[in-house]
Amino acid sequence: MAKKKIPEINAGSMADISFLLLIFYLVSTTMNVDSGISRMLPPLVDQPQEQSNQIKERNMFAVFVDAEDNLMVQRQRVTLDQLCRMTREFIMNPNNEENKPEKEMKEINLIGEFPVSKAVISLRNDRQTSYDMYIKVQNELVRAVNEEREALALSQFGIKWEDLTEDQKKAISEAIPSRISEAEPRDRTTKSN
């Protein structure tokens, strides 16, 4: 009996097809880029003393989260619910109090003369602070800045932040800058400043 030969499949072009599919995938796929949290870093340790002390104490809003997730603002224990309101009040200093930040009059495009706060929010946490509490504090601080920007957008342009043009957003951001600085986390054995 003669055996019937089964025709072979030509696999020579399979590598070419695989290569073309790979190229198509790489060209047509977009990659998401994580941007992270933008923050002002603390000054370098070896900087001269006159450069590292540029921020006056009255302009500094000290926020600290300890290892047990207790929140301290200006060395007073507060709740997370109070943080946004306190931050907004500190940044804007509506009554020009002596223990709150100074303001500098600046000419801002589309707004004109505006008193810009010199406030800097200094966030520090313990190394054992929970990630959940760390993010909640970050969110409240950013929310405070965003709420002030929203209020200014409504008063200056009569529209919400999201509806502003890029030039208007730039003007509002210049009038209410986001200055949140993170200090290096401390260990439990280290005393807080």
Q: What is the per-residue pLDDT across 103-161, written as a single tens digit (0 to 9) for each?
A: 999 999 999 999 999 999 999 999 999 999 999 999 999 999 999 999 999 999 999 99
Q: Is 125 left (phi over 0), alpha (psi -120 to 50) or beta?
A: beta
pTM of the model: 0.71
Residues 64, 66, 68: CA angle, nearest 5 degrees:
145
pLDDT band at 51 (very low <50, low <70, confident <90, very high): very low
